Amino acid sequence: MIDPQLQEKVVLVTGANNLQGIGAAVARAFARQSAKILLSYLRLSPQEFGIDQSEAAQATE
């Protein structure tokens, strides 16, 4: 059943880069309700994500 309050509404969903994640699930749920969806996410390379590599090297020495 489509919620008429969501039809043609614009929804901003952040964190939708993982197809198995909550952001993608929320986006799919709004899509089923005929909302217009704008997806936003930040994709980091392994070097940019997590701990500072130099700090990790120092900690293991």
| Residue 58 falls inside a structural domain | no
| Residue 37 falls inside a structural domain | yes
Q: Which of 4, 11, 2, 15 is nearest to 36 (CA)?
A: 11
Q: Which domain, by its residues, includes 13? A: 1-44
| Residue 51 falls inside a structural domain | no
pLDDT in tens, 8-17: 889 999 888 8
Q: How many domains does the chain have?
A: 1
| Residue 21 falls inside a structural domain | yes
| Residue 52 falls inside a structural domain | no
> Which of the four pLDDT bands, split at 50, 70 and 90, describes residue 56?
low
Q: Which of 43, 10, 37 is nearest to 24 (CA)?
A: 37
| Residue 1 falls inside a structural domain | yes
- Can you give the pLDDT at residue 4? 80
Distance, CA of 49 to CA of 61 (rounded, Å): 22
Q: Which of 5, 17, 14, 11 is nearest to 31 (CA)?
A: 11
